[in-house]
Structure 1
């Protein structure tokens, strides 16, 4: 027989109960019953409490602390496929309800404090779309579990991440069917594997990157990086080359003319700033304000020529104006656009 009792709890007490409430899928009464059973056991065997607390201090707390640290270090990294398969067996989790149930069991311990829901799909085995939501107290744990589940859906269900929304206590991910494995993985890297390529390259050439990082650190990032062919022309005494498109084309793997103007401008900003070619580029729609950091007129003109030629090579016609501190580049309005503006003005 169930008996109802009204109890008063402070906010701090409720916060302490959250792991147990989460474990019991939000059932507060079930959490309280577990606490009562635990107290009953301790009352009958007082030494049990001492052993439990001692064990938590020497084992569980250390294990949980180390786990938290490792999970934070794994942020931006994708879990390796063989490890993923050992955690989420594709055979045992072939259907989405089975996957959700397995994840419930996997995260049932109070250490994870994360709830995962898989819903809004049209087929349990081969869906065209899926939505998952993770709710918990630790953003690091939600990120890790979200990346793990996303990796599984990308590799086993041929999905790609269509959108992702992060909040302080929840992550919602929308998936859609994607038969192109490269595009699917690209979406995974974009949302959960931002430093995957970086760590991979560092592990391949640790000595090289240790040296480079130390150089940048010791010079307060006052370094310039340029392609070798460009450098060769400079040391041979040639006039400063007027094109510096190789880094941008290497990133996008297409010629400059095939890169959409908005994407090109965004890439120019990040690439030329990080290479040290200019100090800063501010973008106002399609207008560029370039803070070059040079005082010599020849250097300023060379920077102007390099960036202007990149834009023109894209097929975008730009004009520029220089000062001691700033170069402003703005698009040239085409004659037909001028005529259209004039006609519209007459019709007003």
Structure 2
């Protein structure tokens, strides 16, 4: 049965009802029914909160740093209110007044219908105003994306108030700013809820082991199982959202700290300007040496040379920009040189002969050699039009290179492997004097060339070395 009554409402009541009327496309009766229905479902006086203060406070604390689902947000604040900052402010003031939250909310904006700058000022209980700031910021960002995207520029907290500044930006920055300021735990909670059994087991294992578990990317772990030095850090590239070589050094150091600490590879990582101090509990010397080399190679992939020294439970990585500058000058010259391979070889030899000016830095020499080896192969590849490498093209490249620098070598196929023998090396031997460091660097140049051609598919078994007192060098190249 429908009962028709005539009622009188003052202007203030009508304005408060406007959001409901707009939600129902101007149908005043439908708006009234929703208001009455809501009041009936609450079962509480008009100005009472739906839940007790203690429970409300706990709920707000538990949802801190978690964004409200879009569907819930749309039910809470009608998206159409985005067309009027004034009506949005009035509706929210009414809404939280209805809940008895005792919140003062003010919106300041440069344009009432299409703002490009918005300032939110909220006063009241600390936990409540933070929640209101979160949902209002989320509302403004979400509903501005298709018009003039607004990003959160800053959030300023006071003892009894909070200010949020938003300004015009793009969609990506708008989304990121929302996560940065109000959604820090949002992705974490969603991941846990999507696979609770997995995360419960992982957390239990970390707790039971007193956080002595180590978490590694599968590809990284595979390299370790294969007794290879991982060439990069997939997790770091994923976090940075760009290749390792494009990450600025300062950012790279902090990413190393974050990844190595949270994965529990290291107990603690400290950064001192451009140097790194890594604290660990490993006891095996070979394991510590491998970790040291991994870090040096990782930073080399980032374009920087580091020395590494270790004591009982500490690895110290010292930046060597002096060596890096020399190497980078050579590499830059090689890249701009018009004479390709011949000029590179001349510069390579000249640098090796003059490199006694550089202090004793064996790990940096490893990096140096590999970097020069890669550059040699890059230019050889360009000059000879090589599209892909195999053992035959690699053998031919080094036969050419060795003939030009007077290294006497032989190549022999052993099944699917290639035996490479150096019978005389004029690079490392001058007269009767053998230079260990030059030999080491030349050997690493060969490894760098091999890695450039075949990546992690290449294995290298060393059988004999001149530097170990043998009368020749002999290695077996294995391609997997």
**Rounded Cα–Cα distance in structure 2 between residues aligned with 1:320 and 1:264:** 17
Following the alignment from structure 2 to structure 1, what is the Cα–Cα distance between the partners of residues 289 and 142?
51
Alignment of 1:106-255 (within 5 A): 106-109=95-98, 111-119=100-108, 121-137=109-125, 139-157=126-144, 158-178=149-169, 180-235=170-225, 238-255=226-243
Match of 1:79 among 51, 68, 76: 68
CA distance in 2, matches of 1:153, 1:141: 18
TM-score scaled by length of structure 1: 0.74
SS in 1 for 2:207: helix
| Bigger Rg, which one | 2
After superposition, give the CA deviation of every residue in 1:101-129 in whole Å (9 maximum; x if it has no partner). 1111112157423222111x221111121
Q: Does residue 259 of structure 1 match 2:247?
A: yes
1:37-91 deviation per Cα after TM superposition (whole angstroms, max 9, x unaligned): xxxxxxxxxxxxxxxxxx99xx969533322222211111111112111111122
Instruction: Give the number of aligned pairs.
Output: 277
For the residues of structure 2 that align with 1:316 and 1:234, how far apart are their CA atoms? 23
**How far off its partner does 1:199 sit?**
0.8
8 A Cα contact 1:242 1:302, kept in partner? no
Residue number in structure 2 paired with 1:310:
298
Match of 2:311 among 301, 318, 323: 323
TM-score normalised by L of structure 2: 0.54
| Structure 1 residue 336 displacement after superposition | 10
1:31 equivalent in structure 2: none
Q: In structure 2, what is the Cα distance between the partners aligned to 1:305 and 1:111?
A: 62
Render the CA deviation track for 1:307-338: whole Å, top value 9, x for unaligned.
12111111122222221122222221337989
How far off is 1:192 after superposition? 0.4
- Deviation (angstroms), 1:240: 4.5
Does 2:89 correspond to 1:100?
yes
Q: Which runs of 5+ in 1 are unaligned?
A: 1-54, 339-348
Kept in 1, the 8 Å contact 2:83–2:114? The answer is no
Q: Which residue of 2 aligns with 1:289?
A: 277
Gaps of 5+ in 2: 1-43, 327-480
Relative distance call for 1:79 and 1:61 in structure 2 (3 A) is: closer
Alpha carbons of structure 1 residues 145 and 62: separation in structure 2 relative to 1, 3 Å: closer
Q: How big is each residue's C-alpha offset from its partner over 1:259-283, in whole Å with a ceiling of 9 and x where there is no partner?
A: 1222111111011111111111011
Cα distance, 1:251 vs structure 2? 1.8
Question: How far apart, CA to CA, are the structure 1 residues paired with 2:101 and 2:253?
Answer: 43
**What do the CA deviations read for 1:156-202 (whole angstroms, capped 9, x no partner)?**
23210111122222221111112x32221111011100111111111
Match 2:260 to one of 272, 278, 281: 272
- Tell me the distance in 2 between the aligned counterparts of 1:305 and 1:224: 19
Verify the 8 A CA contact 1:64 1:111 in the aligned structure 2: no
Structure 1 residue 93 displacement after superposition: 4.6
